[in-house]
Amino acid sequence: MGLGKGISLGVTFVKRMLLFFFVILEALVFLGCNNQNTYFTMEEYESTPYEVNNYSDAAMVIVEDSVTNTGLTLKLYYYGEDEGTTGTWYTLFVFNGSEWEELPDIADGNVAWYSIAYVVEKNHPCELKINWEWLFGELPPGRYLVVKEFHNSRGPGDYDEYNLACEFTTQ
């Protein structure tokens, strides 16, 4: 009788430890940023003119060790029922110590974006390399925010538009 009770307590302990592990793992995924340029953040960044990270069926992260002063690699995820798409457009913000300021481009406003739709399939991430040297030049060390459009596409011309954002730092 004592052995059965001991086994039962051991199983309960293992279940609790597994639950604790999954709760911690979930917290890291949803809150998670570390200070190594890989961020997944659900912050809203009120001081930008864009409403960001308010779509629970999509996420954007920066690929670890991909950040340079002239670019980075993004990984986009889609979890919805329709089709996720993104294009070539993005913008950058710099944190000035109290708020986010959109970086001015060095092309004097003479910028055209390719009209390409990159499909982000459900549960199959899409990687996109961004090189901003042509648009913003080489970034000095600092804290930055990349904002990118994302679409929940139900069909041609039938979509909702969202903005995803990630923070990163340059050295």
CB-based contact 135:113 (threshold 8 Å): no
DSSP lists the bridge partners of residue 77 as: 59
User: What does the domain layout of the chain look like in residue ranges?
Assistant: 1-31, 37-170
DSSP the chain: -HHHHHHHHHHHHHHHHHHHHHHHHHHHHHH---SSS--------TTSSS-BS--TTEEEEEPTT---SSEEEEEEEE-SSSEEEE-S-EEEEEE-SSSEEEPPPTTTT--------EEE-BT--EEEEEE-HHHH-SPPSEEEEEEEEEEEEEETTEEEEEEEEEEEEE-
Confidence of residue 82 (pLDDT cuts 50, 70, 90): confident
Confidence of residue 1 (pLDDT cuts 50, 70, 90): low
Residue 29: predicted pLDDT:
34
Predicted TM-score of the model (pTM): 0.72
Q: Report the mean per-residue pLDDT for the chain.
A: 80
Give the tokens for residue 130.
Answer: 């961004």
Span 37-170 CATH architecture? Sandwich (2.60)
8-67 pLDDT per residue, tens: 555 454 445 444 433 333 333 333 333 333 333 445 576 678 889 888 999 999 999 999
